[in-house]
Structure 1
């Protein structure tokens, strides 16, 4: 057995390899890494000797990855990114307590961020780092403590905690409601009146769109053939809400995310509670396996559960 081939690869060599691959040249990589070109060449040669395979084909002006090089690059790029992220966090924190979470942009904009001041008031010494992305994270992601996601119960991983369910309801902005009341816009007394309206729809190919969009809502009310006056399609839930607030049409909004706007009168349910539709999807808290138990994380989770309880009450799941 060749014990040398089982040794871990040197991180500096991997850094040099990644830089050469990204910059397509030894000189450019050396400049970026602040070393000599010959030093980079020696590191790549040593790495190739360790692997027993060439990583680049050398051309006159640029280098190209071999099949082995492509395989190695795919493996180390995310790993180096995670290392760099962890180092940045360590340098930035300098002992400060921090909770890091990931959620999708609309949930962050409409539910989480508006409520954070109440947590910050009670816990001013805890920093909150929010990564708003639709990308699903691995459960061993070292950069995050929690993931807040909208998923079906059967897709929830072990240990996930349900925060509240999903309810969809048609809403219009206060300005459009006023225009309807004055007779300056077509009446909106029953679902069939939507034929004279602009419907604000999600341009979304995710699985949830099958039961969270206008087509399903209309089908449930025997109006599957209804064609509105106009459609407006947007990419995100918070854009739907913003468009409705601007008085541009009727949005099929997600009640857990907009119930406070309803309470303020910024949004109106033209069909009242009868227009609401319960969905099999729900909002869940997922704790990542790599998260280290600590007081600041416990404090944030306790606050999160209190805020979720208030939402469950507001949408009629409790109390």
Structure 2
């Protein structure tokens, strides 16, 4: 029997919960929602009171899901994505052209967003909507115009244009002075910042260290694990340890001196890459402008 609508928590509480779950940060969720941190905390507390269970475990400068929170997030996140897509399609078409791009949260935060200002200055008459989600959104089904896909080269979608390869290299804040994390003495001294996604073992330290001749994937000072890749990079920028950098996503930070290469070994090229896919049949001046801009930025990334 369907649940009564009156028994469901308010939508704004669920939206705030998903925002915190995506970023695993009260501060970043508040920025995403354009509200103050205290309001985010109050809404999470209100949702926990409504449900009668804790959703997060709060520690010093970090939060983690409880089992109940993780279960709710896995279900609420895609549901709110789908609801947002439907609402977007129902709204009247704007007079200004608006191109919707979907990409993973990590690619959006580290590659797309830092470059969007340049496009807006060059094409102020075109609006860009970004749908950041780790769920693969259908171009037709979800009303997306362009998608930045991450996949094995052999599984690239038909019609997709390759943007750049997935190349991995350890990175750290320059203040840590890490020059060769593969050396046992340096490995014992530093925390490893790991990407907590078992479906992508090639992005984890255990895989890289085995390639460097180590049998273990942990350092003497332990690991920090994050379920979003942009959080891995933010932790590295804060000097909290050594991260496995995805060169296309951290290249600008290396060039600006905000991160430094933390190994004497050459970069590792994987069998994965980043691809640009356009909605079949979609053809407009605005879409062509955004597509060409992405291709130009990708070419600059590869240089």
TM-score, normalised to structure 2's length? 0.69
May I ask how many residue pairs the two structures share in their alignment?
A: 228
Q: Cα distance 1:191–1:176, how it changes in 2: closer, same or farther (>3 A)?
A: same
The residue that corresponds to 1:61 in the other structure is: none
Distance 2:174 2:263 in 1: 14
The residue that corresponds to 1:87 in the other structure is: 90
Match for residue 264 of structure 1 among 244, 256, 264 = 256
1:275 deviates by: 4.2
CA displacement, residues 43-80 of structure 1 (integer Å, 9 cap, x when unaligned): xxxxxxxxxxxxxxxxxxxxxxxxxxxxxxxxxx9998
Distance 1:292 1:188 in 2: 48
The residue that corresponds to 2:193 in the other structure is: 200
Q: Which runs of 5+ in 1 are unaligned?
A: 1-19, 26-76, 181-186, 314-319
Q: What's the Cα RMSD here? A: 2.5
The residue that corresponds to 1:114 in the other structure is: 114
Conserved in 1, the CA contact under 8 Å of 2:138 and 2:144? no
CA displacement, residues 9-59 of structure 1 (integer Å, 9 cap, x when unaligned): xxxxxxxxxxx956459xxxxxxxxxxxxxxxxxxxxxxxxxxxxxxxxxx
Q: Cα distance 1:197–1:155, how it changes in 2: closer, same or farther (>3 A)?
A: same
The residue that corresponds to 2:291 in the other structure is: 301
Conserved in 2, the CA contact under 8 Å of 1:199 and 1:251? yes
Distance 1:210 1:83 in 2: 34
Distance 2:83 2:172 in 1: 47
Q: Cα distance 1:123–1:175, how it changes in 2: closer, same or farther (>3 A)?
A: same
Matches within 5 A, 1:272-283: 272=264, 274-283=265-274
Q: Which runs of 5+ in 2 are unaligned?
A: 7-79
The DSSP-based 3-state class of the residue aligned with 2:232 is helix
CA displacement, residues 206-234 of structure 1 (integer Å, 9 cap, x when unaligned): 2xx22121111111111123531211101
Distance 1:112 1:227 in 2: 32
CA displacement, residues 103-136 of structure 1 (integer Å, 9 cap, x when unaligned): 0011011000000111111100100000000111
Conserved in 2, the CA contact under 8 Å of 1:172 and 1:250? yes
The residue that corresponds to 1:212 in the other structure is: 203
The residue that corresponds to 1:310 in the other structure is: 300
Distance 1:299 1:159 in 2: 18
Q: Cα distance 1:22–1:97, how it changes in 2: closer, same or farther (>3 A)?
A: farther
TM-score, normalised to structure 1's length? 0.66
Q: Could you say which structure has the larger radius of gyration? A: 1
Distance 2:201 2:226 in 1: 16
Distance 2:108 2:214 in 1: 33
The residue that corresponds to 1:126 in the other structure is: 126
The DSSP-based 3-state class of the residue aligned with 1:110 is helix
1:195 deviates by: 2.6
Distance 2:82 2:110 in 1: 32
